[in-house]
Amino acid sequence: MSTWRKRFLADAAQWRSAGLERKRRVVRPVSATTVEVDGKIITAFASNDYLGLSRHPRLIEALAEGARRFGVGAGASHLVSGHHAVHEELEHELARFAGKPAALACMNGYVANVALMTTLAGAGDTIFSDELNHASIVDGARLSRAAVKVYPHVDVDGLESQLKSSGAGHKLVVTDAVFSMDGDVAPLRELLALCERYDALFVVDDAHGLGVWGPEGRGSLQALGLQSSSIVYMGTLGKSAGLSGAFIAADRLIIERLIQRARPYVFSTASSPALAHATLTALELIRSDEAGRARIAAYRDRLQRASSEWRPYRLLSSATAIQPLIIGDNTATVEIAEALLAEGLWVPAIRPPTVPEGTSRLRITLSAAHSDADIDRLCTTLSHVIASATADQA
Ligand SMILES: *Cc1c(COP(=O)(O)O)cnc(C)c1O
């Protein structure tokens, strides 16, 4: 047997025995919150489509209209001939939405973070990164050739002592605004104050804040009224906006530097002009959906009240649409997820390496498209499933 085959088979066997094997479920969407899986209709608490926009009739129409008017493909990279008028218009609107002087639309959030880390820091500089930051930040930082200092999760004092002792060329602090697996929110005000005190650029990844947080869903920074030319804001468009894509909004000097030098941007075909057209509609829908944001908040409160029945497991007290129920053991987490699935409820089991060892969890995500009945069903079914799982153990 070839060396690579032996090695890959051994790895796969080890993942399987550790309960870490991943499976993709094939889904056929039925509505924003229900999908058909293996011929069965199930209610999903599993997507980041927080406002249910992925199937919004106006957005579907906007994408079709964009395709008719502008075509489906951009034809080239932005710097060659693929920067369409509708991309330009979208970037103006994104800058306005984010309250920043300029914006750059990108393929997706992963690419945006790699572009940011590799273009805003390099050899001789230091990137200070929260230990629970998204994988795309970690990968971008590794690629950047800057020194990387990982600070303890949301630890402002820990970060300050690292900044104080740093002799870096320049400094860049980067954080998720809302952490994707815990749902907790970074201390953005305190982090910004540190960045200003220690002359650092401050990159904020708001993948899970945009759309659900702040006035008109404009995100985590505007929720706190934070403004500074040292802030670089990254928002994604595949979550609340219901589409795909991302953008960076910042000072003009930053955006211009990215256009000149960000390799993932320069060397990629521009995203579909139809998608850019639809994104304009998505921004409008986000801004006007106060009712959707209020529903998410009400569902979240309901879950937190119900969670006393889910002991010994602990619902992380999150103010966001992300409500993780910490189980701990990998296999137990999968068993509870399977039992829920048998009842027609889909809550994904999140395991290492996505989360630290011993903190496997059910990642419940709420959507404005859920109904009161969906939330009731989730709460009661979870109580039953957990009661019978813990009775089995006893
Ligand atoms: C989803 C996510 C990304 C990646 O965004 P995509 O558009 O899906 O590539 C980046 N950062 C965070 C915090 C995310 O949750």
229: nearest Cα among 254, 197, 194, 211: 254
Residue 130: CB within 6 Å of ligand 1?
A: no
**Mutation to probe ligand 1, out of 131, 174, 205 (largest number of atoms < 8 A from CB):** 205
Three-class secondary structure of residue 238 per DSSP: coil
Minimum-distance ligand 1 atom for the alpha carbon of 238: 7
Residue 136: CB within 6 Å of ligand 1?
A: yes
| Cα–Cα distance list, 233 to 51, 125, 220, 382 (Å) | 21, 20, 10, 37
Minimal-distance CA residue to ligand 1 atom 4: 109
**Mutation to probe ligand 1, out of 132, 180, 182, 184 (largest number of atoms < 8 A from CB):** 180
Catalytic one of 100, 134, 149, 208: 208
Three-class secondary structure of residue 394 per DSSP: coil
For the sheet containing 349-350, what is the strand order?
A: 314-315, 322-328, 360-365, 349-350
Minimum-distance ligand 1 atom for the alpha carbon of 113: 10
Beta bridge partners of 324: 363
Minimum-distance ligand 1 atom for the alpha carbon of 178: 13
What is the chain's alpha carbon radius of gyration, rounded to the nearest angstrom? 22
User: Active site includes 180?
Assistant: yes
Query: What pLDDT is stored for residue 392 in this prediction?
Result: 73
Minimum-distance ligand 1 atom for the alpha carbon of 236: 7
Catalytic one of 87, 149, 239, 370: 239
How far apart CA 318 and CA 47 sit, in angstroms, is: 17
Domains of the chain, by residue range, sit at: 21-51+290-393, 59-288
Query: What pLDDT is stored for residue 394 in this prediction?
Result: 63
User: Active site includes 23?
Assistant: no
Query: What pLDDT is stored for residue 18 in this prediction?
Result: 86
What predicted TM-score, i.e. pTM, was given to this entire model?
0.95
Residue environment code for 212-240, b if the CB has 16+ CB neighbours within 10 A, otherwise e: bbbeebbbbbbbbebeeebbbbbbbbbbb
Cα(110) to centroid(ligand 1), Å: 6
Cα(317) to centroid(ligand 1), Å: 22
> In the CATH hierarchy, which fold is given to the domain comprising 21-51+290-393?
Aspartate Aminotransferase, domain 1 (3.90.1150)
Class of domain 59-288: alpha beta
333: nearest Cα among 320, 315, 350, 321: 350
Cα(107) to centroid(ligand 1), Å: 11
Could you tell me which residues come within 8 angstroms of residue 202 by beta carbon, excluding any fewer than 6 positions away?
A: 172, 173, 174, 191, 192, 195, 228, 230, 231, 232
What is the 8-class DSSP label of residue 185?
B
Asked if domains 21-51+290-393 and 59-288 share a fold, the reply is no
Query: What pLDDT is stored for residue 318 in this prediction?
Result: 82
Minimal-distance CA residue to ligand 1 atom 8: 109
**For tokens 């701990």, what's the residue?**
328
Three-class secondary structure of residue 341 per DSSP: helix
**Mutation to probe ligand 1, out of 136, 206, 354 (largest number of atoms < 8 A from CB):** 136
Minimal-distance CA residue to ligand 1 atom 3: 109
Q: What is the pLDDT along the chain (394 residues), one digit of tens a residue?
A: 999 999 999 999 999 998 778 889 899 999 989 999 989 999 999 999 999 999 999 999 999 999 999 999 999 999 999 999 999 999 999 999 999 999 999 999 999 999 999 999 999 999 999 999 999 999 999 999 999 999 999 999 999 999 999 987 899 999 999 998 889 999 999 999 999 999 999 999 999 999 999 999 999 999 999 999 999 999 999 999 999 999 999 999 999 999 999 999 999 999 999 999 999 999 999 999 999 999 999 999 999 999 999 999 999 978 889 999 999 999 999 999 999 999 999 999 998 888 889 999 999 999 999 999 999 999 999 999 999 888 876 6
